[in-house]
Structures are given as C-alpha cells and as structure tokens.
Structure 1
Amino acid sequence: MSSPQISFEFFPPKTAEGAEKLYITRARLALLKPKFMSVTFGAGGSTQKGTFDTVLEIAGEGFDAVPHLSCIGASKQSLRGILTQYRIHGIRHIVALRGDLPSGMKEVGELRYACELVKFVRAEHGDWFHIEVAAYPEYHPQARSARADIENFAHKVKAGANSAITQYFYNADAYFRFVDDVCKLGVDVPIMPGIMPITNYMQLMRFSEMCGAEVPKWIARRLEGFGDDRDAIKAFGLDIVTAMCERLVMNGAPGLHFYTLNNAADCKSICERLHL
C-alpha cells in the first residue's frame, strides 16, 4: 500500500493541564510525519485566542499549522484582522467554515456561508492561503436536500477552495459516492476523508447526533452491547475504523484526516496498522 497523506485535528486547550496533554499528544503524532496539523475554532470565534496561540506553537515546532476560521457571527473587520495576523506569522493554510452560531447569539455576521468566506479570503489575500473547506458525504443536516448540499460544496470550490476535509463517517460507500457526484459537477480538488476513532459509545452517539454523522445500526448495536467494557469498545472500534481506512486508501482517497480529540493512542494505532 502506498503511503497517503495524513493529518491531525486538535482543539485549543483551556487549562495548563490540557496544554501539557496536547503537547505530549502532538509529540507522539509528530513521529508519523503528518502533512499538517489543524486547530479548531469555537462557535462564533469563542476560542479565537486559544486557536491562534496553538497554531503558532505548532508552527514553531516546524509543522504546517492550519487554523480553522468560521464566519458566522463575525464581521469582515474581525476576519480581516485574524487573517492579517496569520499572514504576518507566515501561516499559509486555513480551513474556511461557516461555523455555528453560539447559543443566545442572534447576529449572524456579514458573511452567512462558507463560500462567502472563501471569496472574502481570496479577495483580501489572493493565493496566499491554501484553503480547505468542509465536505459532508452523508450531507449536511441543515441542507435542503442531498442535491443542494452537493451543489453548495461545488460553490465553495468554485469560490476558490483548494481542497476539502469531510465530516467523519463509518460508511466508505458514502464517501465514494460523494466524490463521484461532485466530480460530475466539475469538482476535482482532493477530498480528504475525516476519520474519528471509536473509543466511547455514548460520546460517539452524542457527537453524531449533533453533526449529522451516521453510525450504522450494526456498529451502534455492537458498541451498545459492550456496556462499560471500554477495552472491548476500543478493540472493536480499532478493527472497524482501520478496515474502513484501508478500503479508502486502497480505492483512491488522497489521505486520512484524523479527528484526534487531543488523544494520540488510537490515531497512532490505526496508522501503525496501516503501515503509514
């Protein structure tokens, strides 16, 4: 098997203990020589400083550090300031997202959709930034229809996106069908599968309910059947996710983007099983 590109996503820590844990996690995953490491951006920019600080730490360690940036609830002026600061610090790669409006906030901001953010970044900075956007193989939960969601993705690419990272999934067929469908619309940018290791049944089901990712019934029932046996859940999850990753890579996926939840062990185990 040829070695695909791999990358890792982290969230900015909120405590000194969290920062130390993330440092150790990054050090362990750095041994796998990832293409880049991305850092999430909280709803409405709620983790803006934490995201910025973590991105600069990663860049200082010699890696391609990739900040997430969301437009919902933000002004053009605030976005302009963030982008300028990243450019000053030599950051050339971002993930452009619509994002979520924080609870209680009613003002959506000047840009309502990710395609508008992509256009804004291109208008302000030309080709300085490599722009990633989000893709939803099982379709965005707020999309009017599957067709509308595919067309919306195409709009983001045509607005200037260079590549994409998908929401996590456990059905490889959904990914392959999505890639085929957007190709028919003339979209040919690399679309990186998002990979979520399975380590906790209740957490997985909660996350999936929020983001619209489907956990196949047979997987959910097996996980539920393990009860509180965390070792059994992790072993089963490792087998399932590794097999899916192998199929993705063998059938042409350009790489794997891991949602680490700031933990190294399971991502590292999957990569080692795949000989990455």
Structure 2
Amino acid sequence: MIKFSIEFYINIYKIKEILNFNISMLCLKPLFLTITYNKFNINKKVINYLIKKNLKILPHIICKKKIKNFNYLLNSYFLINLKNLMIIKGDNSKNNYYYSYNIVNLIKKNYINEFNIFLGDYTESHPSSLNFLINIKNNKIKNIIKKNVNFISQYFYNIESYYNFYDNLKKINYKIKFIPGIMFIKDFYKIVSFSNICKTELPLWIIKKLNNNKFYKKEYKKTNKEIILNLILKLLNFKVKILHFYSMNNSYLVNIICESLNNNLNL
C-alpha cells in the first residue's frame, strides 16, 4: 500500500486559514507533515495545534541562522518531544551554517541520535550547483548520507532524472531512504517560472499539453491530474513506497490524486 507525506505551507498572513486546515479531509492519513519555516512563535503555534491532532510533524530548519538561534530552536523542539526535522539550505545569506551538512553535523554532535533527520534535495542538481553530481560526489555530502539521514526530493516531472539520482545515491549507501516529491501544477505560468528558478526540467510535451488547455479550466484540471498520475504510477512501478506531496495547503488537490489512486490501484 502506497503511503504519503505532505508539505504544509505556513503563511503568516493566513494563520486562521492554516489552523482551520482540515486534515481529516484527506482520504489517506499522511505519515507526516513537513512544516515550512517562518517565524518561530507562529511555527510553534501551528505545530502544537497539529500535534494535538495526533499528526507526526517535521518542521523545516533553514540554514541561515547563527548557532545560538539553532540551539534555541533545537532545544525548543526537543522539549516538546518533536524528534523529526527537515533541513533545507534556505536563502543565499552566507554564514557558518549555510549548508545542510553543517546543521547535520551540529545536531549529530550535540544530540547524537535524538533527532530523525530529513534533507531536501534536487534530483536534477541544486539551483546553485553547476555540476549535477556535485551534491552526491562531494565528500561532505557522502559523510551526511552515511549518517543515516533521509531524503525528500524537490519536485520533478522527468522520471529519468529520479532513476538516475536514485541509482547514484544507492552507490554510496544502499540503505538510504529517499522519498520522491510531487508538485501539482495549479498555475501554468507559476510552475514555468518556479521550474526556471529551481532548474527543474519541464518536459516539452507537458508544456505543450498544459499550454493548450490553460484557458479551459475543466480540461486543465483533467490534464494536470493525468500528468501527476502518470508520474506517480511510474514511481510505483519502480517500487516506491512513499510519496511526498507539495500541497500548498490545498487538501482538495491531494484528495483528487488520492481518490484517483484508490480507483486505479484499489488501495
């Protein structure tokens, strides 16, 4: 049976909407929610709310703060028994903890095995990397992989990029846990722009198909669903057990995909 995790987006201007997010609407209960990082007090409020709903939470830790801030954040999560963390690189403001491996080393040193660590990664290379394999072949990254961390990928639409990235990871550590990320194409222009920023390939056939239907709401939704289902079914054929949805807080879209999978696979 396929399992799911979901990214939950925190918007400080829509805090009421977030707290009213009806997780029970999801037809398949997620394994966990990753929580995007904004301000600590807001994150803490949302996280405590979701914990009371008996959900497993992975808050984002962004690599752009000083060690004092990191220790405060980690201690705060540790005290509320939140033992799962999602570490991402964050913005371009460089400091001693600019890269994910710096944070992993800090956590492993100070907390040993108290936290389960997840890292975000790109199957088609990080936007700031010119070399596709630099993330994998870099010795610092190799050392992280050997520390039993888990990976959740950024979204992708070219299934071959996932196969290739997965094969390279397995050569370093065959026990690695890697969860592919799935993003729904809600807005054609936004996904094109975001893909350019993230250096994520949008296959030409997808661009043409979406572009042809972008002004026809019903057809666009149908096309969107077909593209995502096609990608998911290929991942399932590759024996993927868990998928990560970038929901943008849209439980309706998550439900459409879940229901379609139920109908197609009798989950």
- TM-score, L = length of structure 1: 0.88
- Residue 60 (1) aligns with residue 52 (2): yes
Note the C-alpha offset of 1:10. 0.9
Task: Give the alignment partner of residue 143 of structure 1, picking from 113, 122, 129.
Answer: 129
After the TM superposition, which residues 108-119 of structure 1 pair with which residues of structure 2 at under 5 Å, given as runs?
Answer: 108-119=94-105
Q: Percent identity?
A: 25
Partner of 1:40: 36
Instruction: Give the Cα–Cα distance (whole angstroms) in 1 for the partners of residues 224 and 143 of structure 2.
Output: 35
Partner of 1:205: 192
- Residue 124 (1) aligns with residue 124 (2): no
Partner of 1:273: 260
The 10-residue stretch of structure 1 (178-187 or 32-41) with the greater mean CA deviation from structure 2: 178-187
After the TM superposition, which residues 163-182 of structure 1 pair with which residues of structure 2 at under 5 Å, given as runs?
Answer: 163-182=150-169
- 4+ residue segments displaced more than 4 Å: none
Note the C-alpha offset of 1:187. 4.8
- Residue 189 (1) aligns with residue 158 (2): no
Instruction: Give the Cα–Cα distance (whole angstroms) in 1 for the partners of residues 257 and 214 of structure 2.
Output: 23
The 10-residue stretch of structure 1 (243-252 or 49-58) with the greater mean CA deviation from structure 2: 49-58
- Residue 100 (1) aligns with residue 91 (2): yes
Q: Which runs of 5+ in 2 are unaligned?
A: none
Partner of 1:244: 231
Corresponding letter in the other structure for 1:144: L
Corresponding letter in the other structure for 1:120: L
Which secondary structure state, in structure 2, belongs to the residue aligned with residue 176 of structure 1? helix
Instruction: Give the Cα–Cα distance (whole angstroms) in 1 for the partners of residues 137 and 155 of structure 2.
Output: 20
Instruction: Give the Cα–Cα distance (whole angstroms) in 2 for the partners of residues 217 and 22 of structure 1.
Output: 39
Distance 1:167 1:227, change over 3 A: same
Is the CA contact 1:163–1:189 (under 8 Å) kept in the aligned structure 2? yes
Corresponding letter in the other structure for 2:73: I
Partner of 2:212: 225
- Residue 23 (1) aligns with residue 10 (2): no
Instruction: Give the Cα–Cα distance (whole angstroms) in 1 for the partners of residues 126 and 95 of structure 2.
Output: 21
- TM-score, L = length of structure 2: 0.91
Q: How many residues align?
A: 261
Corresponding letter in the other structure for 1:157: I
Is the CA contact 2:21–2:249 (under 8 Å) kept in the aligned structure 1? no
Is the CA contact 1:98–1:117 (under 8 Å) kept in the aligned structure 2? no
Distance 1:187 1:113, change over 3 A: farther
